[in-house]
Amino acid sequence: MFNRSAQRVANAGVSAPSPSAVRESVLASFASQGLAVPARPAALDALLCGDATDADDAAARTIADLVFTVGGHDREAALLRAGAFVTREKALRLSQLLPVSRGTVGTAALLHRAGEACALRALVLAESGVALRLDAPARAELCARHQGEYTEQLIREWALPAQVAEVLRSWRQFRPTVSLAAAVVYYAHLLASEQLHPEFFVPGLLRSVAVELGIDPAQVVSI
């Protein structure tokens, strides 16, 4: 839960805080920091247009640099950024086969884990505020637990369109009743995860994605 600095304190003969005390201290500071959502970028308008131009891709890179850069936790932020880019790529390819808005699925796919990145940014402030550093599993758990509130803050402060907001809220809880755009982002996330982490390859995933979305499995293979 906590790093070697705590162990050095213990070795010096000073009682180290218990894991539960560390968690409570960081949680208290985490809550007191407010929501760490960056200001709405001008590039967002180009991304929402989804016009399949170089400007669209440039806007995606600008926004990703803004959202997925977290000083002090570069590796974790880089993993989120890579997942966002590949998920966007997969979602845009699926959008060519289905009646969904390129701007909606492209934007939502890029931001589908932005809530976790904003939570990680707030947690960095919290850790420095209490002079403690959680281990990676504890940080991941806290970011996952708080990602919903940061997603809502992002939706409000960036004035995201209702269609994009709906996808960001619902893609994780995929059900047959959610919008097609949310289903596209959900399956794009699965395909991206398989590409980035082939060690977790699931046999039959591509065919399952095609069946669920009602498209030819041969078309999904090339995505």
φ, ψ for residue 29 (rounded to 5)?
-70, -40
pLDDT at residue 54 greater than cutoff 50? yes
List, for residues 161-177, the tens digit of each pLDDT value. 999 999 999 998 766 66
pLDDT tens column, 205-223: 888 888 889 999 888 888 8
Query: Is position 107 within any domain?
Result: yes
**Residue 1: its pLDDT value, please?**
45
Does the pLDDT of residue 34 top 70, yes or no? Answer: no
Give the predicted TM-score (pTM) of the model. 0.87
| Tens-place pLDDT, residues 124-136 | 888 887 888 888 8
Q: Give the helix/strand (H/E) hosting 45.
A: helix 44-49
Q: Into how many domains does the chain fold? A: 1
Residue 24: pLDDT band (50, 70, 90) is confident
Host domain of residue 66: 17-221
Query: Residue 3 above 80 pLDDT?
Result: no
Residue 75 within a domain: yes
Q: Is position 138 within any domain?
A: yes
**What span, in angstroms and rounded, lies between the C-alpha atoms of 196 and 17?**
38
Q: Which residue has the higher pLDDT, 143 or 163?
A: 163
Q: How far apart are the first and last CA of the chain?
A: 39
DSSP for 86-148, please give it: HHHHHHHHHHTTSSS-HHHHHHHHHTTTHHHHHHHHHHHHHHHHHT--B-HHHHHHHHHHHHH
Tens of pLDDT, residue by residue over 93-107, are 999 999 999 999 999
Q: Which amino acid is at 66?
A: L
Of the pLDDT bands very low, low, confident and very high (cuts 50, 70, 90), residue 82 is very high
Mean pLDDT score, 141-163: 93
Asked if the structure places residue 11 within a domain, the reply is: no
**In this structure, are residues 121 and 36 in contact, taking their beta carbons and an 8 Å threshold?**
yes
Name the token pair of 115.
């809530």
- Per the domain annotation, does 8 fall within a domain? no
Domain annotation covers residue 5: no
pLDDT confidence of residue 27: 79
Does residue 2 lie in a domain region? no
pLDDT for 16 equals 59
3-state SS class at 164:
helix
- Mean pLDDT for all residues in the chain: 87
Is 6 domain-assigned? no
Using pLDDT thresholds of 50, 70 and 90, give the confidence band for residue 179.
Answer: very high
The CATH number linked to 31 is 1.10.3210.10
Residue 202: pLDDT band with limits 50, 70, 90: confident
Flag the least confident range among 22-26, 36-40, 59-63, 74-78.
22-26
